[in-house]
Amino acid sequence: MTQYPDYDIALSGHELYLEYGQRPIISAMNLAIPKGKLTVILGPNGCGKSTLLKCLSQVLPPTRGQVILGQTPLAQLSNKARARELALLVQKPELPEGIDVQELVSRGRYPHQSLWHQWSEQDELAVAQALAATGLTTLAQRPVAELSGGQQQRVWLAMVLAQQTDLLLLDEPTSFLDIRAQLAVLDFCRALVDQGRTLVLVLHDINQALRYGDHLLLMRDGKLIAGGAPESLLTEALLEQVFDINASIITDPEANCPMIIPRPRVNPRAAGRHGGEDSSNTATGGLPSWE
Residues 102-152 have pLDDT tens digits of: 999 999 998 887 666 677 888 999 999 999 999 999 999 999 999 998 899
Q: Which is nearest to 177 in space by CA: 199, 197, 147, 200?
A: 147
Cα(45)–Cα(291) distance, integer angstroms: 15
Domains delineated in the chain:
1-85+166-235 (3.40.50.300), 99-164 (no CATH), 246-291 (no CATH)
Are the CB atoms for 125 and 179 separated by under 8 Å? no
Which residues in 21-85 belong to E strands, given as ranges? 23-34, 38-42, 64-69, 72-73
Give the model's pLDDT for residue 196. 95
43: pLDDT confidence band, cut at 50, 70 and 90? very high
> Average pLDDT of 40-63?
94
Give the model's pLDDT for residue 281. 67
Specify the pTM.
Answer: 0.88
On the question of pLDDT at 206 being above 90, the answer is yes
Cα(280)–Cα(285) distance, integer angstroms: 8
On the question of pLDDT at 195 being above 70, the answer is yes
Give the model's pLDDT for residue 112. 82
On the question of pLDDT at 268 being above 80, the answer is no
22: pLDDT confidence band, cut at 50, 70 and 90? confident
The proportion of the chain whose per-residue pLDDT surpasses 70, expressed as a percent, equals: 88
> Average pLDDT of 76-88?
93
- Average pLDDT value for the chain: 89
- Better-predicted residue by pLDDT, 283 or 124: 124
Give the model's pLDDT for residue 119. 73
> Average pLDDT of 146-175?
94
On the question of pLDDT at 256 being above 70, the answer is yes
Give the model's pLDDT for residue 1. 41
